[in-house]
Structures are given as structure tokens and as C-alpha cells.
């Protein structure tokens, strides 16, 4: 009797450590960050517990910060676009590969993910620097005697972010593409549709959920990336995450940094909301 | 005619795919090549081979210290997250399958940017008096961002677990601990190992969390490398990066031998 009663009870103690961890060291800190954004920046202490809207008014009244936010969103959008364009062929190839080849392709695709972001950025620095490999080849062959400016600008940052977030896009896309039976495409082809037509009329529309998920994921990751803009932008391409860290660590203005972080979150949420709306309309248009 | 055109298009497509994989792998291969390069910069034509950057790495106190520190931190993080994550997965899959709120809470640390989590933790530690940069604070930060990986990979395996096996063991007289140890654990082993691997690599390569939470004496390897690269270009970083890559490769190959890479892929996608 006792055994049965005990067995039917849920062993909630299993989940308590994980929930406690996330609540105490994740939810509470973010709640604290939100509260902090309404405090006064302190003089001796990092903040004074006096409520104010000043952090928001000064952040929102600063045209420089708006411009940085705009650049952050622009880079996020471009990263998403390029990973989609580059990732689609990769995902299509992966989804249609035999199981043996697929294992190898997965290793190639996932291995960059497993190497730290600092090491990967360094790899790009070796390639893109003014006296890096690409420039040395270009100069050696006399293609551009003064070399190309490939790093410490938005181009370098974009190369880095596209490279880093590409595997996420490919995995999202190939998940959706794998669920489309190849027979559908073959049927369209056998009925006389060209490859291009079969692709745009059958495969691409059916893969839209994957496109949708992949773009969302990459955009969210890209607007908050920190290492790439620092190392490949060389403090010349300031984005909002950089500004937040600078305000918190160098200026030691925690409430100001918190407000900037909240503004970034709010803006990306607004972008995501807009995106959902557009995407819903696109999906409806397809099903009609 | 059209068949030849089709074959040509297919060849062009495969060439494009090959080129894209080169793009993916290039920066990693280039780090290895740069670490073996004699000159300060990798140029064309190359300067020749040398192991001097490895010697510099071995003789550099800060690099070696932070390397060993990162290994220890990642190992401890992995042990904690694997236990917490596996326990949580057992509960969620078996007793709260439809509890989406609980599942979302547990994977929440994956959804928000690490650098913001790092900042939030830094401020929070100060508020609760844990101090800005302590070893405990850094460890907790790593555990927070790694636990979802352990949880997700174990949960992915548990979803396909046939509970009647465990019930059969119980009905034949095995206690719940014995049934778990002899039946459940061997079956979900793959997921647990995959989760541990993800945790280890995520912690060892962790950057944003460590950036704001590591201080004097608790500098992790990625932070040490970053500090070097921020203002100058030092090929010692290439040697460090290569060692980092080799460790990751070793861990991945070990996983492949033990459980197959598919489980990493499936686990990560749940």
C-alpha cells in the first residue's frame, strides 16, 4: 500500500535543482536588470536606489545611440539574409544526401560550432587582416596594389557573423526540407515541371516553416553578438551590445547599461513581432 | 541536350556546395596553418614551418594557467550540469510532458544572449553580496548556460524510451534504484554522454559569461586569448587555438565512438 502511494507521487525533487538554478540565477538577475534600469546612476556606488526614468530619456534622446541601434539591426538583418541565401543550398544538399555522406557533412557543418568563437574570429583575422593571407595573395598577383580593406569595418563583421550563424540556419532549414518527401518533387518533374518550377512551386513553399524558424534564430543571435564586432570590427564598428558592456564596465554606469539592454530587447521583440505578422500574411497567401 | 544541361547544372551545384563547405572550414584550418607558420603573419608565399608559437604558448604563464583553469572549470561544470539536467529531463518527460511552461523555463538560458545574461548576473551578484568576480559566481554562470544542453539531449533520448522495460524490471522484484541503474541508465547513456559533451565544450569555449564574471585568478582561456587579440595580433593565439581545436576534435571523436554523432544532432535539435 505504502509502496504504491509513494510510487504514484511525482518525484518533483528531480526537477527542483534545475528550476531553482534557472529561477535564482537567470530569472531573478534579469528581473533585477529591469529594476536597475529605473535607478539613478550612483556616484560612489554603481547605482542609487532612487527611481527615475532618466536612463531611458537620456538613451532615447541620444541620436548617437539611435544610430548604433540602427546599425545593430541592419547588421542583424543582413546576416540573416546572407545566411539564408548561403544556407539554403547547403541544407537542400544535406537533406537529400545519403545517410553515409550525411554523417560526414554533419561533422563538417557542426565542427565550426564546436570551436570557440574567439578562435574562429582569430582565423578570420589571419585571413582578412591588412597584411593577412588574402591581401598578401592579392598583392602578390598585383590585383590590388594597395590591398583591400577587409577587416575593421562592417564587411569584416558580416563575414564573421554569417560564418558563425550559418550552421544554425542550415540545421533549421534541413529539418524542414527532410520532412518534404522527395516523391513530391519527382511527381512534379514527371508531370513536366522544370527543376526551377518544381523547386519554387513545391519545395520552397513547403520549407517555409524552416525558413521562418532559421531566420528568427539567426536574427536574435546576430543582434546580440559581441565577440565578432569587437575582434573583426576592431572597435570601429560599435553595436549596441558593445555599447552596453562599455557603459557597464568602462563607464561603470549600471543603470544606463541596463536601460540600453532593455531598449535592445524591446526593439528586437518589436522586429520579431513585425516579422511574425509579415510571415503569417505570407503563409496565408500561399495556402489560399 | 536537356540531360547534358541537367548534368552540368548538377555539377555546378555540387561545386557551389563544396565552396560553401570551404567557407565553413577555412577559418579553422587557417588557425592550424598559422600556428605552424614561421613568420608573424601568414603570407603568400609562406615563410616556412616552425613550432615557435607552441613553445611561446608553453612558456607563457598566463596562457598555461588559464588553459588549466578552463579545463578544471569545464570539468566541474559538466559534472554539475549532467546531474541536474538528467534529473530534470527524467521528471519533465515522465511526469510533466505537457507542461510547456516548465520546459520553456528550463531552456530559457539558451534563448537570451549570453552577454546580457552575463551583465545581469554581474549586477545580481553585487546585489546579493556575492562580489563581482568570484570563482563561485563564474561557475554558477557556466552551469546556468550549460544545463539546458544536458536537459535537452537527455530529454530527446527519454522521449523514445519504452517505460515497460523498467516496469518489467520492477515487477520482477528490482527496486527503483536497481531498475534505474540496470535498465534506464544504460539505455539513456547516449543522451547523457552527448549532454555532457555539449556542456563541456560550451563551458570550455564559453566567452560572454566569462567576459564579465571572470576576474584576477579566474581568467579562462578564451578571455586570455581575447585580451591578447583585442589590441594586437599575436600568432601565439593560433597555437592556443589549435590546441583548443584538437581537444574539441578529441571529444567529438570519442563521442562518435561511444554513441554516434547523430545523437548530438538530434539532441541539439529537440
Task: Kindly list the structural domains of chain A, giving each domain's residue range(s) and its CATH number in brackets, ordered by start.
Answer: 64-115+150-287 (1.10.3720.10)
Task: Give CA–CA dist A85/B76, Å, rounded.
Answer: 40
- Return the CA Rg of chain B: 23
CB proximity B15 to A under 8 Å: no
B88–A17 C-beta distance less than 8 A? yes
A118–B229 C-beta distance less than 8 A? yes
Beta bridge partners of A51: A39
Domain B61-269 has CATH 1.10.10.10: no
The residue that leads in pLDDT, B19 or B186, is B19
Going by C-alpha positions, the residue among A151, A144, A145, A154 that lies closest to residue B233 is A151
> Judged by CB atoms within 8 Å, which residues 168-227 of B form the interface with A?
176, 201, 204-208, 211-212, 222, 225-226
A265–B28 C-beta distance less than 8 A? no
> What is the DSSP-derived secondary structure letter of residue A13?
G
> Which residues does B119 contact at the CB level (< 8 Å), separation at least 6?
A33, A244, A245, A248, A257, A258, A261, B212
> What is the DSSP-derived secondary structure letter of residue B97?
T
Task: Give CA–CA dist B233/B60, Å, rounded.
Answer: 16
- CA B203-B207-B208 angle, 5° bins: 115
pLDDT of residue A287: 60
Residue B223 in 3-state DSSP? helix
Which has the minimum average pLDDT: A200-209, B159-168, B193-202? B159-168
> Judged by CB atoms within 8 Å, which residues 63-102 of A form the interface with B?
86, 89-90, 93
* B120, B130, B263: best to mutate for the A interface, most A CBs within 10 A: B120
What are B74-121's pLDDT values in tens digits? 999 999 999 999 999 999 988 888 888 898 899 899 888 889 999 999
> Domains of chain B: which residue ranges?
61-269
Q: pTM (2 decimals)? A: 0.85
CB proximity A5 to B under 8 Å: no
A167–B120 C-beta distance less than 8 A? no
ipTM of the complex: 0.85
Nearest to B21 among A32, A108, A220 (CB): A108
B44–A140 C-beta distance less than 8 A? yes
pLDDT of residue B44: 64
Residue % of chain A over a pLDDT of 90: 37
10 Å CB burial of residue A19 (0-12, 13-18, 19+) is middle
A–B interface: beta-carbon pairs under 8 A: 257
Our CA-based measurement puts residue B65 at a distance from the nearest CA of chain A, in whole angstroms, of: 18
What are B28-78's pLDDT values in tens digits? 999 998 888 887 777 766 777 888 888 888 888 888 999 999 999 999 999
Kindly indicate the confidence band of residue A257, based on its pLDDT and cuts at 50, 70 and 90: very high
Sign of CA dihedral B98, B102, B106, B108: positive
Mean per-residue pLDDT over chain A, rounded: 87
CB proximity A271 to B under 8 Å: no
Amino acid at each position: 500500500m505504502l509502496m504504491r502511494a509513494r510510487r504514484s507521487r511525482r518525484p518533483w525533487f528531480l526537477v527542483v535543482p534545475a528550476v531553482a538554478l534557472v529561477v535564482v540565477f537567470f530569472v531573478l538577475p534579469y528581473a533585477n536588470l529591469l529594476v536597475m534600469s529605473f535607478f539613478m546612476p550612483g556616484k560612489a556606488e554603481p547605482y542609487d536606489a532612487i527611481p527615475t526614468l532618466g536612463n531611458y530619456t537620456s538613451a532615447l534622446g541620444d541620436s548617437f545611440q539611435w544610430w548604433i541601434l540602427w546599425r545593430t539591426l541592419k547588421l542583424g538583418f543582413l546576416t540573416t539574409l546572407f545566411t539564408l541565401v548561403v544556407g539554403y543550398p547547403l541544407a537542400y544538399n544535406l537533406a537529400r544526401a545519403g545517410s553515409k555522406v550525411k554523417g560526414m557533412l554533419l561533422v563538417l557543418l557542426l565542427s565550426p560550432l564546436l570551436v570557440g568563437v574567439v578562435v574562429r574570429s582569430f582565423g578570420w583575422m589571419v585571413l582578412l587582416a591588412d597584411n593577412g593571407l588574402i591581401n598578401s595573395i592579392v598583392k602578390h598577383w598585383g590585383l590590388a596594389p594597395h590591398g583591400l580593406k577587409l577587416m575593421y569595418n562592417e564587411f569584416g563583421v558580416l563575414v564573421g557573423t554569417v560564418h558563425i550563424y550559418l550552421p544554425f540556419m542550415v540545421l533549421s532549414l534541413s529539418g524542414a526540407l527532410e520532412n518534404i518527401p522527395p516523391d513530391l518533387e519527382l511527381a512534379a518533374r514527371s508531370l513536366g515541371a522544370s527543376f526551377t518550377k518544381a523547386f519554387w512551386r513545391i519545395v520552397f513553399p513547403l520549407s517555409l516553416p524552416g525558413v521562418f524558424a532559421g531566420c528568427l534564430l539567426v536574427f536574435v543571435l546576430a543582434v546580440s553578438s559581441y565577440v565578432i564586432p569587437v575582434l573583426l570590427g576592431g572597435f570601429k564598428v560599435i553595436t549596441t551590445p558593445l555599447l552596453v558592456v562599455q557603459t557597464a564596465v568602462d563607464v561603470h554606469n549600471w543603470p544606463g547599461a541596463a536601460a540600453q539592454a532593455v531598449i535592445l530587447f524591446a526593439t528586437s521583440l518589436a522586429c520579431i513581432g513585425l516579422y511574425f505578422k509579415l510571415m503569417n500574411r505570407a503563409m496565408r497567401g500561399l495556402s489560399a | 541536350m536537356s540531360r547534358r544541361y541537367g548534368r552540368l547544372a548538377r555539377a555546378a551545384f555540387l561545386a557551389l556546395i563544396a565552396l560553401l563547405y570551404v567557407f565553413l572550414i577555412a577559418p579553422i584550418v587557417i588557425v592550424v596553418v598559422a600556428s605552424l607558420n614561421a613568420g608573424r603573419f601568414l603570407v603568400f608565399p609562406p615563410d616556412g614551418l616552425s613550432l615557435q608559437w607552441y613553445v611561446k604558448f608553453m612558456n607563457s604563464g598566463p596562457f598555461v594557467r588559464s588553459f588549466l583553469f578552463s579545463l578544471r572549470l569545464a570539468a566541474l561544470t559538466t559534472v554539475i550540469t549532467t546531474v541536474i539536467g538528467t534529473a530534470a529531463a527524467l521528471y519533465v518527460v515522465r511526469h510533466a510532458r505537457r507542461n510547456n511552461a516548465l520546459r520553456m523555463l528550463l531552456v530559457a538560458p539558451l534563448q537570451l544572449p549570453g552577454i546580457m545574461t552575463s551583465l545581469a548576473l554581474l549586477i545580481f551578484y553585487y546585489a546579493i553580496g556575492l562580489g563581482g568576480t568570484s570563482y563561485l559566481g563564474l561557475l554558477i554562470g557556466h552551469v546556468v548556460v550549460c544545463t539546458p544542453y544536458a536537459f535537452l539531449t537527455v530529454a530527446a533520448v527519454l522521449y523514445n524510451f519504452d517505460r515497460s522495460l523498467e516496469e518489467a524490471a520492477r515487477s520482477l522484484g528490482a527496486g527503483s534504484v536497481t531498475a534505474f541503474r540496470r535498465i534506464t541508465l544504460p539505455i539513456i547513456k547516449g543522451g547523457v554522454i552527448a549532454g555532457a559533451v555539449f556542456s563541456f565544450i560550451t563551458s570550455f569555449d564559453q566567452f560572454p559569461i566569462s567576459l564579465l564574471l571572470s576576474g584576477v585568478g579566474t581568467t579562462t582561456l578564451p578571455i586570455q586569448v581575447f585580451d591578447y587579440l583585442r589590441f594586437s595580433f599575436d600568432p601565439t593565439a593560433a597555437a592556443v587555438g589549435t590546441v583548443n581545436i584538437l581537444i574539441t576534435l578529441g571529444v567529438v571523436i570519442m563521442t562518435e565512438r561511444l554513441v554516434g554523432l547523430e545523437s548530438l544532432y538530434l539532441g541539439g535539435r529537440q
